[in-house]
Amino acid sequence: MTQDVTVPDIGDFSDVPVVSILVSVGDTVAAEDPLIELESDKATMEVPSPAAGVVKEIKLAEGDRVSEGALILILEGAGASDAPKPETPTVAPAPAPAAAPAPAVTDAGFGKAHASPSVRAFARQLGIDLAQVNGSGRKGRILREDVTKQLKATAAPVASGAPAGGMGIPPIPAVDFSKFGPVEDVEMPRIKKLSGPALHRSWLNIPHVTHNDEADITDLDAYRKEMDTQAKEDGYRVTLLSFVIKASVSALKTHWEFNSSIHPDGDKLIKKSYYNIGFAADTPGGLMVPVIKDADRKGLVEISKELMTLSKAARDGELKSKDMQGATFTISSLGGIGGTSFTPIVNAPEVAILGLTRSKIAPVWNGSEFAPRLMQPLSLSYDHRAVDGALAARFCVTLKGLLGDMRKLMW
């Protein structure tokens, strides 16, 4: 029996180039084995096999451009005809490139290595020579995990403690914790495996500074509660984050440096005239960062509804690649959990991130007496190459003014 294998639903992408064919005629494949790799200007996607079988005929070539429904190959084998249709390919957004240039890598290893374009790009960003990497994927294919493993190996010191090359960062010595009590190894969620190297790279490459401040949100929160009461009747919620997103856009317009990225040559800033706000969403598998696109063109109601929709998709594991790309500024809110301040890590190539912790009632001097006010802590981390301390303080003053007088949000 045979089955036609076609390109499944790939979201809003169409006319996408085939950058790699991962199988050959006669190959035996298992269900979920990758067949081809597609790469748009936004993401790299592997199309999995819908069932086990033998590749009888390949119907496209590298360089072909395909859309949903395009015929990939003919699969032959028992049970192929009643196998389920392939699911939407899993897209693992590549971590944003670090602003600092990566170490030079020779092209020899890249020319012979069996790796996808996204993995090659990842290796170049980390300065890893693929010729030195052992692939753990099918037919020796090099995976992202293999590159990360090689990074750790090159960072390890040789005998006598001297760095072995690569990043040259001595690792934390291994400890046999079982000597002290019962232990077990628990696999990290896939999200943390993917985001970990990106966060590590950002922390190593960006000179982080965090500016802490407080905003008086007493009046804003009273108005928010009024909006939320009506919103609940209409099936959505209005949270403080909606107002902070709206206020952040206004502050970004006033202080454009926070909405920029450092140019690859290191001596210019790329000024962006669009405002896409990422927000950290807590999910069972770890933090994900959906993006509110064109937040400057949306009102509080529209932002609130989109926040709810994207947050639910994140918790349910239904976010698509396009939902997590293109952010120019990110907000990480821990307000529902607690805390007084923290140092969020800048998500390169962005140059700033705003952290929120739980608001609290505090006595504030109003000129004649202390009055109870609802104060919102703000933790603004920024890339000191793009932003200096004075500008960070001005940004927070602007943001505080907007949150303290909700009428300004309507300007």
Active site residue 255: no
Residue with tokens 């064919």: 21
The dihedral over CA atoms of 204, 209, 214, 219, expressed in degrees to the nearest 10, equals -60
Token pair listed for 388: 């200096």
What is the rounded distance in angstroms from the CA atom of residue 377 to the CA atom of residue 130?
Answer: 45
Helix (H, G, I), strand (E, B) or coil at 232: helix
User: For the range 57-60, what are the long-range contacts, defined as Cβ-Cβ under 8 Å and sequence gap of 24 or more?
Assistant: 57/25, 58/21, 58/23, 58/24, 58/25, 60/18, 60/21, 60/36
With helix as H, strand as E and coil as C, how does 364-377 read? EECCCCEEEEEEEE
Q: Are strands 360-365 and 352-356 parallel, antiparallel or unpaired?
A: unpaired
What is the rounded distance in angstroms from the CA atom of residue 245 to the CA atom of residue 397?
Answer: 16
User: For the range 221-224, what are the long-range contacts, defined as Cβ-Cβ under 8 Å and sequence gap of 24 or more?
Assistant: 221/359, 221/374, 223/406
What is the rounded distance in angstroms from the CA atom of residue 241 to the CA atom of residue 214?
Answer: 15
Token pair listed for 162: 């001297």
Token pair listed for 159: 């005998």
Give the chain's length. 411
The whole-angstrom distance between residue 245's C-alpha and the CA centroid of its chain comes to 18
The answer to whether 165 and 153 have CB atoms below 8 angstroms apart is no
Backbone phi and psi for residue 337, each to the nearest 5 degrees, phi listed first: -110, -50
Provide the annotated active-site residues.
Answer: 384
